Structures are given as structure tokens and as C-alpha cells.
Structure 1
């Protein structure tokens, strides 16, 4: 999205809020930290949203019912910023007419396929694998074998990706020898999305999450592709250098110990 584009402003009881399509929020112009989420702070009703708004704090209010609380209709993001929606979701402005925000944000054909039980797929090093989170495995889409267990992957520190070293010949994750001295052949590192990124529909069902809300935050991806990282760009070369240095030091220590001691002279 064009970062230099002037974002539209929505007036909410005399207070200007910037419409941020990318984050799906209204952001107060004078207090940027004050954001009102279209997803978690409003309820969606076809082509508009309902917001319980506190005119004093200028924040959503779910509990109070005094005179300062107003149930306000907020237009759809398509209506508030059609250009922004067009740019973000690569849909011509004229094709947005008659659609809801959800229909634009989430590929309806992919969603219908998933609800019919068609499992998503991911490309790993040029080959397609079917994602089956119920069985916690990835199956080769053409031959149904090999089967890759998701339990073989490590979760990254931020929790958003699975990662593993991967044998491109065996098509399996593997654990590298910590005493490695040479770069192994046919091995790369791969990084996959976590469960939400792999299959948001199943993840919502599994954890009892609101499917529409999750899909708005993490839409189904049409072409999932694992990130391929050459070993030269990982910590493996450093590990090999360290192991070689330790081995040289060990050999030197052994050589020193094996030297014949000088006999004393009488």
C-alpha cells in the first residue's frame, strides 16, 4: 500500500479518526495510540458496523449505559476507504461495489472449498504437500508419501512459524549432528507458518475461536509457500568453524601430551 497516500478521516462525534485499512482500525488523529478495532471493538452487520462509543474517553464501551454512551453506526471499510481496500486486496474499485468487507478480505471460493473439506496445500522446495492439521502431518500431494510430521518442526521464539532442517532427497526434517565438520549435502532450512497460517479454518474450530474474526486477521492464503533458507545463511557455517577449531585444539593438546619427556641428566 502506498505509504505516502493521505488516509481518509471519519468524524466520530466531533473527533477525527484516521481510517487505517491495513490494521483495520480507526486511529484518533490527535492521539494515535487510541485505536478502535473494526474486528474486536465493533460488531459487523452486513455493510456497516455497530460501535458502543464513549464520547468522554473516546473509546469503545461494552458495559456502561449512561448518557455518554452512544450506539453508533460506522460505515464499512469499503465505503470509508475504497482506494485503500482496492490497493490492499488488489481488487479494482469498481468491483468492490455490493461486497462486504469480509467478502473482500477473505477469498470466498477458497473458504467454500475449505468448508467442503478440501484441505489446503503448501509448497515446500518446489513440491506440494497437503496440510492435515487434524493428523498433524503434511502429505505429498501427488504421491501421498512421504508423510512429514509437524511434530518434527520447532516453533520459532515468536510462535508464528515452524522451522526445521530439511533433507531435499528424503523429503523429511532432520536433526543435524552437533559435531558437524562439513556442510551436509541436500540439506536446507525451511520455515512454515504456524497453525493459524497453515489452516485458519481448522485452527478456529480446534481452539473454539471466532472463525470470521480469525479469518479477517489471517485470511486463507491461495498459494502457501515455505521459506527456503540455504545452509550458508544459517548458523551451520559458524557451527562447523567452531567444531573445527575445537578439533584442532584437541589435536594440539594430544600432540603436546604425546611428546617424549626429556630425561634428567646425572
Structure 2
């Protein structure tokens, strides 16, 4: 059993905070609902952060008035053990690196900044992610393409889903009156734009690239999840259609029965 680590505590201005490297915040120990974000409320200088602080209200300053600058150490300095464990590195590998260097794969970032688009594996086939054109292009043949608009966003907005025909490599619509499982059709789930290409998303929507990458680093290997049709709405749809056919059959049978013959 892994031994639980003692939480890392950092103090300034006579207030103590728990260092949360997962959410990248300082959380006030006596009021956990009060958080200070390293991303949104501090300026990253690489080896440290600068926090504009309102000493009267004891909160991050919202303007230059009465703002006192506080130098906050990097997460690597505050919790090197936690950062090493979180990002699968040894403490020695952290030397000379910044928080951003550790959180974001620098080789993958350079490749993306040099114009190399990410790729995603869909049912064993590689597709190039092109957010500018809102499409996934077959990496080898460049055709067919899958329009992101042909997929549906999940209710939480974090994934795309759709029914997919692997041989034709196309998103398909199911017959709403089907009574059997469709042959060769699968359901796929893949990340939304941020998960597919955070750099491209930042450029298209005018977002701060470094801040977005700190929250959602580039994923080296993207792979669509295959969802069995048995775990979708398809079985329920098939059952409903079969029951409807049975009702229609019974109605037709009743109409075809001969009426009572008169007695003579």
C-alpha cells in the first residue's frame, strides 16, 4: 500500500494554503472554498509567479489600486515530489525545468507550432485533425473525410459521438425503424476540439495558448473510444420497433377476421 503523503502547505501574509498541483491552485486551509489560481490570478515568470495581492481584503487584487506584489514559488519548488509523481518523472528530471516545461510535452508542442497537425486513431485507421476545416482527414489517402459537424456533442460538451462504418470510414445515421442490430456499425467517442488540438483551438477562438495548454496539455496518442452498440440506445430502439410491429400485426389480424355469420 502506498503511503499517503503529507499535504504541502505554503504560507504568505499570515495565511496558510494547501498546494494543489492537480488543479494548480493554492487552497486556503481554514476556508477550502477560497482558492488562488496559478493560471488565472498569477503571472508566470518561469521560475516563479507574481501575484497582485490586496492586503486589506486578503484576496487577489482585481486592479492596480492597493495591489501589493507577492512572489510565489513555482509548483516545482513548492512540491517537487508531487510534480514528479503527477507527470511520471524522477526528481532529477525536474532540474532546470519550469512548470510549463513539465506540464506540456515540449517536443509535441514544437511539432504542432511547426504546422504538424495531430492525428487520431479511429477503429485502427489514422485520421489527421484539421480544426480549421472542421474535419478529420484520412492520414494515408486524405479521403474520405469525417466532418466534425456530422458528430454530436455529448451533454457535458467534452466529447463527440457518432455511429461509424469502419469499411466506408464514414459517420452514418441509423434507420429509426431498425429491428435488428446493424451489421458492421460501431459507435465512436472522441474528444472535443480542446482534447483533439488545444493549440488549434486557442488560435481559432483567440484564447491564451499557454494557459489552455496548462489545463489541457497536448496528448501524444489520440484514440477514439469504441462503444459497444449494446451500451447505446440501439437495443431499446430495436425493442420498441419490434413491439410496434407486433401491435400493427395484431391490428391487421383482427381486421382480417371474418364477422359472425347470421343463423338461418
Aligned pairs for 1:76-155 (under 5 A) are: 76-155=74-153
Deviations 1:49-71 (A, max 9, x none): 011123344321121523xx421
Q: Structure 1: where are the runs of 5+ without partners?
A: none
- Relative to structure 1, the CA distance from residue 261 to residue 125 in structure 2 (aligned partners, 3 Å threshold; closer, same or farther) is same
RMSD: 1.5
Higher mean displacement: 145-154 or 187-196: 145-154
- C-alpha deviation, 1:143, in angstroms: 2.2
- Relative to structure 1, the CA distance from residue 265 to residue 5 in structure 2 (aligned partners, 3 Å threshold; closer, same or farther) is farther
Aligned pairs for 1:152-163 (under 5 A) are: 152-163=150-161
Report the equivalent of 1:262: 260
Deviations 1:7-56 (A, max 9, x none): 20000211110000000000011111101100001111121101112334
Aligned pairs for 1:1-266 (under 5 A) are: 4-63=4-63, 65-66=65-66, 69-265=67-263
Deviations 1:83-121 (A, max 9, x none): 111111111111111111001111111110011100100
Deviations 1:179-216 (A, max 9, x none): 11000111111111111111111111111100001111
Aligned residues: 263
TM-score, scaled to structure 2: 0.95
- C-alpha deviation, 1:3, in angstroms: 9.6
TM-score, scaled to structure 1: 0.95
2:155 and 2:146 map into 1 onto residues whose CA distance is: 22
Q: Secondary structure at the match of 2:71?
A: strand
Which aligned runs of 4 or more in structure 1 are off by greater than 6 angstroms? none
Deviations 1:100-147 (A, max 9, x none): 100111111111001110010001112111111111111111222221
Q: Secondary structure at the match of 2:177?
A: coil
